Structure 1
Amino acid sequence: MIQQRKPGLATLIALAALTTAAASADDFDTLEVGITPELDFFAVQHQGETVWVQRNQNTGNTVDPEYALTSRPCPPLCIQPMQLAPGVETLGELEFIAYLERVGRDPDVLVIDSRTADEFAAGAIPGAVNVPWNDLVGTAGAVDFVVEVRMEEFGVRRSADGWDFSDARTLVLYCNGPWCGQTPSNIRALLDLGYPPERLKWYRGGMQAWHNLGFTVVD
């Protein structure tokens, strides 16, 4: 079941106005807590439904305690580098949002939550699908059959030489935050299989940054 903060009246009026050629930003009220000066909210397709994503409008809101811890044990929860591998782009929130808006509309783009299934079920970013890191990483228990199924979901096919990446989708991956190794493990596993690095994107901030900015979460 999707739980979300539904757009307020001003947001719905804004949406209606945006469907007319004559509409302008002056035709409706803006939210108090926007995303950028030009963007208050956006729509994402999630499990066949439209989810409106905006920031929490309570200016006294604080971060979910689950993401308030500052000192997780390292190892294994160590700070990840800004760049995982040559050619793999690291995304900030606005770049990540640009990909989220393409979900369900552009078959080339797939947003992936690399966390375990129970973590995903407890709350995720709208538009993401769950590909747990242990589905792809051999040291975490991945098996060849599951890897092949996942690769087919990514638009990759078996070939005489191994894998055919000519129709590989652009994968945008995230996990719990800069201290989380699940997405880095997924990306490295994909690179080891030959996945083109330019088709791999990493939202390093993950759930930590998403919660810190008060964005909509679904479960």
Structure 2
Amino acid sequence: MSLPAFTPSAVLLAGVLATLSVHASEPNRITPTLYSVQVKHQSQIVTIRRGNNPYAVLAEPYQKTDRGCPPFCVQPMIVADGVETIGELEVLDYLKRMSEGDDSILVVDSRTPDWVLRGTIPGSVNIPWNRLSRDSGGTFETPQERDAFEQILRDQFGVKRDGSGQWDFSRAKTLVLFCNGIWCPQSTMNIKTLLGIGYPRHKLKWYRGGMQDWLSVGLTSVQP
């Protein structure tokens, strides 16, 4: 009795299917030793992990590559001297520390609410960029906008006025700011505005890759 012949292509296909089967049956890791991170998002515990679908693709809003500059210009690797540019693992570490009770950290989604509705990083707080920066110069059109800016500094960033009316940054939080990605200027404008009022550089962190990079590696996002 003759055995069936297997073509090289059939063998290759079998190997691919076997690999996909193993991939689908095992949890996808963030790093070789890290499977997931639990964070608190709006009083709920959310587990951040990577997707486990080998056919997953980026959501449509992040597939576009032709974005006009200005305003969607490629941002530099370093937004300002002394401000650290970080990646996904560092963001996860800050989120983990926050969830463990470290209230000296705040992860800030600088995007407008219409973008946040499409998903955000669990554990982040949405403060739209135009509440901190009316324009690239950090100016505001009305006293009400200036008052709202100062309220954010006081109530969310831990920055107070001292007896002489100057900003006291001694208890300022470490801020991790992000927006849509390397083509998005919103978080960089916010960082420059905060630097302009004296916010300590070492307490400002910039996640340059933003939501596009976060989603591109399959990390969990949440919708309001």
TM range, smaller chain: 0.7 to 0.9
The residue that corresponds to 2:10 in the other structure is none
Q: Are the aligned partners of 1:157 and 1:165 in contact in 2 as well (CA < 8 Å)? A: yes
The residue that corresponds to 1:136 in the other structure is 132
Larger of the two Rg values belongs to structure: 2
C-alpha separation in 2, matches of 1:100 and 1:202: 14
Return 5+ residue gaps in structure 1 as ranges.
1-29
The residue that corresponds to 2:151 in the other structure is 149
Give 1:62-141 correspondences, 5 Å limit: 62-104=57-99, 105-139=101-135, 141=140
Structure 1's consecutive aligned runs of 4 or more residues displaced over 3 angstroms after TM superposition are: none
The residue that corresponds to 2:19 in the other structure is none
Q: Are the aligned partners of 2:107 and 2:175 in contact in 1 as well (CA < 8 Å)? A: yes
Amino acid at match of 2:107: V
Q: Are the aligned partners of 1:90 and 1:203 in contact in 2 as well (CA < 8 Å)? A: yes
C-alpha separation in 2, matches of 1:161 and 1:218: 39
C-alpha separation in 2, matches of 1:55 and 1:66: 20
C-alpha separation in 1, matches of 2:119 and 2:87: 20
Which deviates the most, 205-214 or 130-139?
Answer: 130-139
Query: How much does 1:161 deviate?
Result: 4.6
Amino acid at match of 1:162: Q
3-state SS of the aligned residue for 1:138?
coil
C-alpha separation in 2, matches of 1:200 and 1:187: 7
Query: How much does 1:141 deviate?
Result: 4.7
Task: Render the CA deviation track for 1:97-124: whole Å, top value 9, x for unaligned.
Answer: 1111112420001000000122112210
Structure 1 residues 123 and 35: alpha-carbon distance in aligned structure 2, compared to 1, 3 A threshold: same
Amino acid at match of 1:204: R
C-alpha separation in 1, matches of 2:116 and 2:151: 20
Amino acid at match of 2:130: N
The residue that corresponds to 2:44 in the other structure is 49
Tell me the C-alpha RMSD between the 2 structures. 1.5
Give the structure-2-normalised TM-score. 0.81
Equivalent position to 1:182, from 167, 180, 186 = 186
The residue that corresponds to 2:16 in the other structure is none
C-alpha separation in 2, matches of 1:37 and 1:163: 44
Q: How many residues align?
A: 190
Give the structure-1-normalised TM-score. 0.83
Q: Are the aligned partners of 2:140 and 2:146 in contact in 1 as well (CA < 8 Å)? A: no
Q: Are the aligned partners of 1:44 and 1:50 in contact in 2 as well (CA < 8 Å)? A: yes
C-alpha separation in 1, matches of 2:58 and 2:146: 39
Q: Are the aligned partners of 1:134 and 1:141 in contact in 2 as well (CA < 8 Å)? A: no
Query: How much does 1:59 deviate?
Result: 1.3
Return 5+ residue gaps in structure 2 as ranges.
1-24
3-state SS of the aligned residue for 1:101?
helix
Query: How much does 1:33 deviate?
Result: 1.8
Query: How much does 1:177 deviate?
Result: 0.1
C-alpha separation in 2, matches of 1:179 and 1:129: 21
